[in-house]
A and B are shown apart, each in its own frame.
Chain A
Amino acid sequence: MTPELLAALEGAKAAKRPVALLTRLTDGAQHLWPDEVVPAPLADAAERALREDAAANVTLEGEAWFVHPHNPPLRIIIIGAVHIAQALVPMAQAAGYAVTVVDPRRAWATAERFPGITLIHEWTDDAVAALAPDSRSAVVTLTHDPKLDDPGLDAALKSDCFYIGALGSRRTHAKRVARLQEMGHSAEAIARIHAPVGLNIEAVTAPEIALSILAEVVATRRGAALARRPALAA
């Protein structure tokens, strides 16, 4: 790999731009897609590898190519700059997620409590809408306060984020479901919300709850059976 190509890969990463590295395994010749024009079969494979976030092998004119997708990081948007969020942030970063914390309560969302993290002090619906969660984003509400959590969930349900989780007991969630239905969300849409948030590992402490949340996000992302829950009784 040339230093120029390495710099281009690093540049794409910094710009959060998806690129695929194409390597001819016979001699190491390399191209970056879509920055460079490549034969259609390679371009198609690159597009698919990025979409599926999975590397691929392609044979072109009898020669083997390796198609290596470099997608921008997965994101976790955390609503609520609470104690559990403080535990979740470093775990999520270690797992490769870009983390944003949203909380209009400036006493909670401080640089002292969340060093080096993007903090947003807007109201939660505006903040989530502005962050525009996509299919590589997860949204987790942790404030335990309906006037902060509900608008964030409302905005998350309008996005195609791959995971939505909400802290709170089953009873709290039943009330939340009723409120979200009043806001116009269907039962099917609301069923996207994982609540109570996190895999059931009998978590007690803030780091344990954070672990259960991150585990559920990963399980959902990877399509694990653990991530599927029976529907809650209405």
Chain B
Amino acid sequence: MSDSEDVLATAANWRAAGETVALATVVETWGSSPRPAGSRLAVSASGKLAGSVSGGCIEGAVADAAKQTMASGAPQLLDFGISDERAWEVGLACGGKLKVFVEKLS
């Protein structure tokens, strides 16, 4: 069992319980991102989280995007990273960059 597959099982259980669920997957990283490509975060409409796509820096923003995707059904490709010297305040303190794919489980 890899940790990303465990997230899938959790997402399946939520969906079986009648929840709307979105999956976020790290698809590309540059620099010192804490979680490798393939890392997953599952988000439920009621606000439950399982897994991770970073060390905790961007999970909030990804969960917001996940709620949009749950509502619209449209997948999203999100970019996170350092765009200027103050970006760490809102993004990745580690200085890494990553792309996260968000899709609805439907």
Binding site for B on A (CB under 8 A): 1-3, 6-7, 9-10, 13, 23, 25, 27-28, 54-57, 66, 68-71, 73, 96, 98
Q: Are B38 and A69 in contact (CB under 8 A)?
A: yes
> Which B residues touch A28, using CB under 8 A?
75, 101, 103
Bound-state Cα–Cα, A71 to B37, Å: 15
Q: What would 4 more interface pairs be, CB under 8 Å, given A1-B103, A55-B38, A66-B101? A: A6-B15, A57-B37, A68-B25, A73-B1
Is B8 interfacial (CB 8 A cutoff)? yes
Q: Are B12 and A6 in contact (CB under 8 A)?
A: yes
Within 8 A of A (CB), among B63-85: 75, 77
* Interface residue from A23, A27, A54, A73 paired with B2 (Cβ < 8 Å): A73
> Which B residues touch A57, using CB under 8 A?
27-28, 37
Asked, given contacts A10-B9, A23-B101, A28-B103, whether A55 binds B27 with beta carbons under 8 Å apart, the answer is: yes
23 A-B residue pairs with Cβ-Cβ distance under 8 Å, sorted by A, are A1-B103, A3-B12, A6-B11, A7-B12, A9-B8, A10-B12, A13-B1, A23-B25, A25-B75, A28-B101, A28-B103, A54-B36, A54-B37, A55-B27, A56-B37, A57-B27, A66-B27, A66-B101, A68-B25, A68-B38, A69-B38, A96-B3, A98-B1
Bound-state Cα–Cα, A25 to B78, Å: 11
Q: Are B3 and A6 in contact (CB under 8 A)?
A: no
Closest residue of chain A to B69, judged by CB? A28
Q: Are A27 and B75 in contact (CB under 8 A)?
A: yes
Bound-state Cα–Cα, A54 to B3, Å: 14
Within 8 A of A (CB), among B12-30: 12, 15, 23, 25, 27-28
